[in-house]
Structure 1
């Protein structure tokens, strides 16, 4: 069994309308699915991705209207990165972020890669990372109707950054339970802190990494709007996912068991520092219940919620996503 890389990242927003505007109109990503949080159908779950919602390209958001401020800290997924094709693409994005008054740090280096760290309007911690020298997992393809440059567009998810105080148990889960190996390290931007460790799985490269940051100067994070809920890793299919469940049980790691999310099958568990991991299958995908040309334009509900459509729609604020 081998994890194939990052599958998706799910974060929290307090305002679906503003969130939709930022990720589609400014970042140029495609909304490939407008659905509901299956654990709380009174709120939206929005999926932004590449042209067709390929695995490894979707950044998702649960809308929690009363979500408070995030207080940054340890035991958190403290950074989400988005891949762009080249260093030249970062030059384009540097100007575009300025154009839209997006808070960012300009082009810098992170290890051997050029990046731009930036924040969305809710202070979601994001990074654009160049795939200039990527030799690992291939990216997706930017949406052909993107509001941003297709040539320089976002092609998927890059490394997720985890921040912990004690790295040992997290490393043990990544390397001894999952299929990650430490492949690199680079200096922290925070004075006096340890190097950030790079772990990779599958074919490796930008789309298959977890970066582990150790901080001894922060309290535990209190999540809210602009925080990340969980990171999911790619599994080939449902049969392999069942084997992962057996592996977690053998390691006596509490887990959710197999969960049918309709667009993929899932398995959830927390590593010892409390960070929520998901294993998710590559299929069946987002075109299961909508034509590719019209992904994300209307409210999509898995079959097991279809008989509740009228009640669900009555609780949701209208969100116009017709293109």
Structure 2
């Protein structure tokens, strides 16, 4: 079997304020809350999933709700999340929209790695970059979004990680995960150089950008930090093959984990960043209608008998 990851599946970050997080990502960024559930390894914490109108793989931005301090930035970390929009006019719209929120760090529209881009931070300091993907590939607008369909976020774009030394990370990316290195560019913040690796058909939805930054301190995760990034594999059969491939390469992993909405596998690349390989299905409509995704607390079957205790321990989101 020729194994190839097909793109970014989802990205999971950390918030210390779930109600404010919900307001920002649905009301300001215009994303759809497609699953309101709990962290399956810590059921005292919400796990919130935001995505496009159809909850498509590759559009999921998710959050663990943990009462932690802010992130201490540095290397050995996932440092920036790309979000794709279509057209230069979209970036102009977002620059004005985000600037009008107040209190946000918002940059100027600039050309980064050959793409028109707009950097900004969410209220807890998570770093994002909106990029013009030229409208390539499918897009599924959310009809109830406060953002016009023409300007809505289309999905995840390039994810940037920081490492002090690229050599072992590059070896795992190319020799084990079948990424291919396609180009490089100077880091926008002036700290180091960024190497671009692609999977699948390539393009903005299938790139990992590796910033080599040996002079930075080691990051400490907290609110505003990214916990892990997941890459897409089509089905469980290919996930089994990835499990074997990682074992043969001598990489320690979690083994396959049933997340109910997808099945996945976790491991750390040599730079210390947590990676996941996740199946495209069965998807978020497996336990509730597509039309009402995210409107009530969803629990996988193995947690359903604990629903009363779990609900009692969760704070209201609104």
Q: Is this a same-fold pair by TM over 0.5?
A: yes
Shift of 1:105: 0.4
- Conserved in 2, the CA contact under 8 Å of 1:180 and 1:201? yes
Q: Where in structure 2 are the equivalents of 1:110-189 lying within 5 Å?
A: 110-132=112-134, 134=136, 138-189=137-188
Shift of 1:185: 1.2
- Residues 34-71 of structure 1, C-alpha deviation per residue, up to 9 Å, x if partnerless? 00000000110000000011000000000002x11211
- Conserved in 2, the CA contact under 8 Å of 1:87 and 1:131? no
- Could you tell me which residue of structure 1 aligns to residue 49 of structure 2? 47
Structure 1 outlier segments of 4+, above 6 Å: none
- Conserved in 2, the CA contact under 8 Å of 1:57 and 1:140? no
- Could you tell me which residue of structure 2 aligns to residue 243 of structure 1? 241
Q: TM-score, normalised by structure 2?
A: 0.97
Q: Where in structure 2 are the equivalents of 1:24-43 lying within 5 Å?
A: 24-43=26-45
Structure 1 unmatched runs, 5+? none
Shift of 1:133: 7.0
2 CA distance for matches of 1:166 and 1:99? Answer: 39
State the secondary structure of the residue aligned to 1:272: coil
2 CA distance for matches of 1:307 and 1:94? Answer: 46
- Could you tell me which residue of structure 1 aligns to residue 305 of structure 2? 307
- Residues 128-154 of structure 1, C-alpha deviation per residue, up to 9 Å, x if partnerless? 1111274xxx24322111011211110
State the secondary structure of the residue aligned to 2:108: strand
Aligned counterpart in structure 2 of residue 59 of structure 1, from 58, 61, 67: 61
- Could you tell me which residue of structure 2 aligns to residue 5 of structure 1? 7
- The answer to whether residue 79 in structure 2 is matched with residue 81 in structure 1 is no
- Conserved in 1, the CA contact under 8 Å of 2:48 and 2:63? yes
State the secondary structure of the residue aligned to 1:17: helix
- Conserved in 1, the CA contact under 8 Å of 2:112 and 2:188? no
Q: Which range is displaced more, 234-243 or 102-111?
A: 102-111
Structure 2 unmatched runs, 5+? none
State the secondary structure of the residue aligned to 2:107: strand
State the secondary structure of the residue aligned to 2:255: coil
Q: Which range is displaced more, 179-188 or 113-122?
A: 179-188
- Conserved in 1, the CA contact under 8 Å of 2:86 and 2:135? no
Aligned residue pairs, count: 315
- Residues 199-243 of structure 1, C-alpha deviation per residue, up to 9 Å, x if partnerless? 100011010000010112211101100000000000010010001
2 CA distance for matches of 1:139 and 1:99? Answer: 29
Q: Where in structure 2 are the equivalents of 1:257-276 lying within 5 Å?
A: 257-276=255-274
- Conserved in 1, the CA contact under 8 Å of 2:261 and 2:281? yes
Shift of 1:21: 0.3
- The answer to whether residue 228 in structure 2 is matched with residue 230 in structure 1 is yes
- Residues 82-135 of structure 1, C-alpha deviation per residue, up to 9 Å, x if partnerless? 11011111011111111212321021111110111000000011111111274x
2 CA distance for matches of 1:54 and 1:92? Answer: 24
State the secondary structure of the residue aligned to 2:10: strand
Q: TM-score, normalised by structure 1?
A: 0.95
- Conserved in 2, the CA contact under 8 Å of 1:6 and 1:233? yes
Shift of 1:194: 3.7
